[in-house]
Structure 1
């Protein structure tokens, strides 16, 4: 693979850290746990979407866009980071927010909703679950065109083949860090949502013949549906990056046991995971993605499905600004 052939904006100087989690490892009494700190990526508040935006924003600039357009849930980390990238580049940004939980959008809410305003979003369009999201973004682009402006549409999560290159690059970064530190990982665990992060990591590992399994922890969809989504995108990004050999369907694992009642809806396991990471390792997770992914990691270690002798890398995809919108849930757990 030669990722240097793709235009890229750099929002993070150097690699994000890989750190041991000795206290969580001891508390669980199982596998040796490490964390990849992609919550410390550049742009406002950090998170995995920064890696995707490095490639997507480079393409937007090459096309002469003056406005970034994207979509996400009402507390979307992706929308926050897309807006932050627009600010960095001197562009405008318009957001389409999907109410995946009825009546959940509150423009005066804390978390990312507050940051949308603080960062200067130009306009927000709110739609309900099941709306034509691509159509809504295309309408925003058409409105801009009528004003003589040029919008650039970024899919939800930045998860197309171009955006997923960010996590092909991350896979190569992990392998280089593993070699430099002398720590070989037996498994990688990551949240699996819009599929770009999961698919990019798999493509990058396959392209480097790494033979490291990736366990995705679903945050929204049933297992079979999500595995199909990730596999389809992994094939697309692999084709774009020139990955050989082809990625087999059985390479993709997406566990759905910790989704709970639905996307963004709290679960006792998520609350426990968020509190454990904070109190044992000083690491802030988010309640929507990394909290549920960590809940899956903890359960797999406790059950022994992740074996005691394994070295496991948990990819922290960020999202902690959304914590503050869930303070009543998490504070209630503290008082219980």
Structure 2
């Protein structure tokens, strides 16, 4: 039995997301892009191992100093496949003031997902991933009309455990109350 490190940031943890990539391909063979929050790197590494670096867009959340190097090293240790860090598709523009901070872009994404889809995203990971996806569509790095998946790897505990997000939600409710 192996130990899966926090965030799945080990070859064993990344293997689960390699399996996830195979399942995605089975359900959507025409898949163009999977957008994922890049925290400790394990989720993106597993997906890159299966789908290749061109189909995975990692949105850096600020958890590691060298996101590209971290993911490339995990992919290599997972399967022996070597990808140059610069071959990875990364968005580095969603970190804001740092890992645990709530950015306006993330708050807008949280609000959009909640209001339009009834989906709870967390402010550190999946909120940033959706914010990165929105930006990528606007700048053309993710093509509109192509099959794109936002991988939602969690949300509710992070949402209600983040004091800034809770305060913003309370402010919004106060404005809406008669």
TM-score, normalized by length of structure 1?
0.47
Could you tell me how far 1:158 is from its partner in structure 2? 2.5
**Structure-2 residue corresponding to 1:332:** 171
Alignment equivalent of 2:149, drawn from 313, 316, 328: 313
Is residue 2:36 matched to residue 1:200? no
Q: Does 2:110 align with 1:268?
A: no
Query: How far apart, in 1, do the equivalents of 2:129 and 2:169 lie?
Result: 17
Question: For structure 1, which runs of at least 5 residues remain unmatched after alignment?
Answer: 1-58, 61-152, 240-244
Runs of 4+ in 1 over 4 A off after TM superposition: none
Render the CA deviation track for 1:37-90: whole Å, top value 9, x for unaligned: xxxxxxxxxxxxxxxxxxxxxx15xxxxxxxxxxxxxxxxxxxxxxxxxxxxxx
1:321 and 1:169 map into 2 onto residues whose CA distance is 25
Match of 1:228, SS state, is helix
Say whether residues 1:259 and 2:95 are aligned partners.
yes
**Residue 109 of structure 1: aligned partner:** none
What per-residue deviation string (whole Å, max 9, x for no partner) do you get for residues 260-301 of structure 1? 101121111111100100111111111110001111111111
Q: Determine whether 1:322 maps to 2:158.
A: yes
Number of aligned positions between the proteins: 172
* Pairing 1:182-331 to 2, within 5 Å after superposition: 184-206=30-52, 213-220=55-62, 225-239=66-80, 246-325=82-161, 326-331=165-170
- State the TM-score, normalized to the length of structure 2: 0.86
**Which protein has the bigger helix share?**
2
- Bigger-Rg structure (1/2): 1
Q: 1:175 aligns with which of 8, 25, 49?
A: 25
Deviation digits for residues 220-274 of structure 1 (CA, Å, limit 9, x no counterpart): 158x8110111011111113xxxxx543434312211011101121111111100
Write the mapping of 1:35-74 to structure 2, written as runs, cut at 5 A: 59=1
Given candidates 132, 155, 169, the residue that maps to 2:5 is: 155
